[in-house]
Structure 1
Amino acid sequence: MKQVKTAFAGYGPGGSIYNSPILSSVPGFVVTKILTSSTSNIALARRDHPRAEIVDNFSEILKDPEINLVILVLPNHLHYSFAKQALEAGKHVLVEKPFTSNVKEANELINLAHQKKLILSVHHNRRWDSDFQTVKKVVETGLLGKVVEYEAHFDRFRNEVKPGWKEKKENPGSGILYDLGSHLIDQALTLFGLPKEVFADIRMQRDGAMVPDAFELLLFYPNLKVTLKAGQLIKEKGPTFQVFGTRGSFVKYGADVQEEALKAGKKPSDTVAWGTEPKEIWGKLNTLEEERLVDSEPGNYPFIFQNLLKAITEGAALAVTPQQARDVIRIIEAAHKSQDERCVVTFG
């Protein structure tokens, strides 16, 4: 098997928890360099990749001719500049979501990757959440008839503002709409494509909040309304997904189990039945024909790296294209315009 020599730029939680354990479970990737500077992150990098060289300057990665792929797990406002440098140096790039802070930057990176004939993708891993894969199956098999309403939540209870770049208003791309919202938007676009209109209510609800920490986003399609919501003050959580159609409904509680498994230090490669949800949080289907629980599809975070490997080594089509990730940013920009002008924004 051809090996893809890989470098991480950044090794905070995004690298050590959400990317590295999945990458390490997919044969074919070899991590040779890691850019990080904090003492704690250096220790994690050495623990996870003892043969990798720890560097404190991005140029050490860029000038290494053996490195094929750079994985960017940096603060959002750095995605564009680091991705641009990596592409200019002839490296394939995987960017942690959100892709960029604005559409202009996204388009520039897309054009640059095309010119350089390089792979550029974005880590929209939650397309492979167990619950979303189950919703996708229910919708696409037509069990609900024609879907007329879809509602998805990403709710948490974190009532204190924690220090860090995500909470700083001076950093472009900060706030919950870029963070959790990019997941919900990507899932909705995967199911339904681009909407005709966008409306948003974006708020700062916690004491001391400097960036948005709650939103409700409405995407309007012909004969379909999509509602996406996230907040940090949801102590009693409701359904994660609700889907209503002409023949019935599907309602799903609970969260995909892969995140908690990763936080507990588990990897797909050493975990039996990775991504399998317990029956207690299976979704309920209630239609004209039947009423039953629907077995949850297994979560599959490794797929995005398996696909990336094939795209680099075999020329396979990308599962997450940069154009798709750019469209998520287009929706976020439309949402901010809607909030600023208190209007429905025609999308097109």
Structure 2
Amino acid sequence: MALPALRALEDCSDWSKTVEPFIPQFYALPEKLLQVSTSPQGLVQLYRETNPLVSGFALSLFLGAVFLVVSEINRNYSQVDRCWSLLPTIYLAHFNLWARLAGLPSQRLDAAVFVGTAWSIRLTYNYWRKGGYTVGSEDYRWEIVRNQVPAIAFHFLNLTFISFIQSVLLFLIAAPGYVLLLSSRFEPEITGADVGYVAAELALVLVEWFADQQQWDYHGAKNAYREGKILPGYTQADLDRGFVTSGLWGYSRHPNFTAEQSIWFFMYQWGCFASNSLYGWTAAGPSFLILLFQGSTWLTELITAGKYPEYNEYRNRVGMFVPTSFSPYMTPVVKPKIIRTSELAKKLEQKQKQK
């Protein structure tokens, strides 16, 4: 049996009923794959007979091994980064495909895949135009980390976090798709709330797009400034600062990161709503994603503060993710110190006493 026999909608988010019974399938999957590896029909049959959560998780582990081997051979540790914008949507499409093969309602999963596709298009395009898919490109932070830790420690980091943990994380943030699949057996039709979640998700994708474009435009203006040109909409002081503080960046130091975390938190909440539950085990995905962003953003800001003197002032006045003020960031004006006559008199009196 590939799916649990559930009696109530709330059971769809219950770990003990929807995950635990299928753990033995995971252990038996490698042997079954070997048995049918040469038969396309056998592979399709095995796919249909295996719990979709199990097969999706197994794929994430397999890809983790691929990322590990490729990164160690090439000495390039951005292999997961190149697939980051695609894998969550692929996992959502996997749940959707499985539901269709099983003859189950798929309207909610269709909507989830639509959201995932919009997210993937935006992120893939932004990663591409920054040169992420150029041969040899790598996240600049990995080189900094490599220079700060022993080689054996970095290889262990690659074995655990960079390759495997990140790969599994990309599956976990899409795991609410499994809850949507199960809940569709009880409520097959899309509701107004489902439409609301889709609208909220697309709005967050739009926020990411605006934030990315504002940052892209600023760095384009910086490049032109290096060639002696100041583009319309920018001042010399803006470009001398070295980092963007206008638009959404005037209210949040990382508006794109805020939207990114919110997208997958909303996906989790969508699963909770669909299963009529306040919380569920799929919170693991967005929770770990938020922790990951805390660490990576801290490192990014540490590097940025070392490059740009004004960044510490910006950091003190603007929230990392959530806005802390209704007013946008303004570059502080340094006022000359006013020396009053009384202060001069006191200094003169002290000098006379010293004589």
Asked if TM exceeds 0.5, the reply is no
Question: Structure 2 length as normaliser, TM-score?
Answer: 0.22
**Structure 1 or 2: more strand by fraction:** 1
Structure with higher Rg: it is: 2
**Structure 1 or 2: more helix by fraction:** 2
Question: Structure 1 length as normaliser, TM-score?
Answer: 0.22
